[in-house]
Amino acid sequence: MYWRGHIGIGLLVYAPIAAAMLSRGEPALAALGGMLAVVFATLPDADQSLPIPHRGPTHTIAFAVGAGLLMGLLAAAVLAIGTTFGVAAVADTPSWTPAFVAGVVTLTLCSHLAGDSITPMGIRPFRPLSDVHFTFDLTPAKNPRANYLFLLAGLLATTAAVWLTI
């Protein structure tokens, strides 16, 4: 998939979480999660600008979990620093926010893997433990219709999640 498709799939996967956060009365976390989903949906493709193979290490479950944990730790550090210095915005932040951040980032990165698994090139998500290759060979990554369809589906799902919970 290209960036539009990955953002769409990321939002499609995030939409039920947005609805849950809004239902819990956490609009700030719902918005934060949406931003994280958009930002991290394309992160694995940064490998195209690095001296590593495309769909290599950044297209693994280990990368998704590791990046999610790293972002959760960063969120915990931000909350701790904000609490230490008495930042008012931190006072209303739930204690489980770092786990939420870690989960959204991990899920979004896994959605990227799912998007790439429907292309002929596929992925090897369990490297370095296993070289097993996954592809559903449904559509080429460059298919503009598929990419726009996923983007539209993600935007509609997220919009529906917001409208149904306000």
What is the spatial distance between Cα 145 and Cα 148, in angstroms, rounded to a whole number? 5
pLDDT in tens, the chain (166 residues): 999 999 999 999 999 999 999 999 999 999 999 999 999 999 999 999 999 999 999 999 999 999 999 999 999 999 999 888 878 778 789 999 999 999 999 999 999 999 999 999 999 999 999 999 999 999 999 999 999 999 999 999 999 999 999 7
SS in 3 state form for the chain?
CCHHHHHHHHHHHHHHHHHHHHHCCCHHHHHHHHHHHHHHCCHHHHHHHCCCCCCCHHHCHHHHHHHHHHHHHHHHHHHHHHHHCCCHHHHCCCCCHHHHHHHHHHHHHHHHHHHHHCCCCCECCCCCCCCCCECCCCCCCCCHHHHHHHHHHHHHHHHHHHHHHC
Return the number of other C-beta atoms located less than 10 Å from residue 85's C-beta: 8
A 10 A CB-CB count for 76 gives: 16
Q: Where are the domains of the chain?
A: 3-45+57-165
What pLDDT is attached to residue 6? 98
- Predicted TM-score (pTM) of this structure: 0.95
Coil, helix or strand at residue 134: strand
pLDDT tens sequence across 68-88: 999 999 999 999 998 888 787
pLDDT at 38: 98
Assess contact for 38 and 10: CB atoms under 8 A: yes
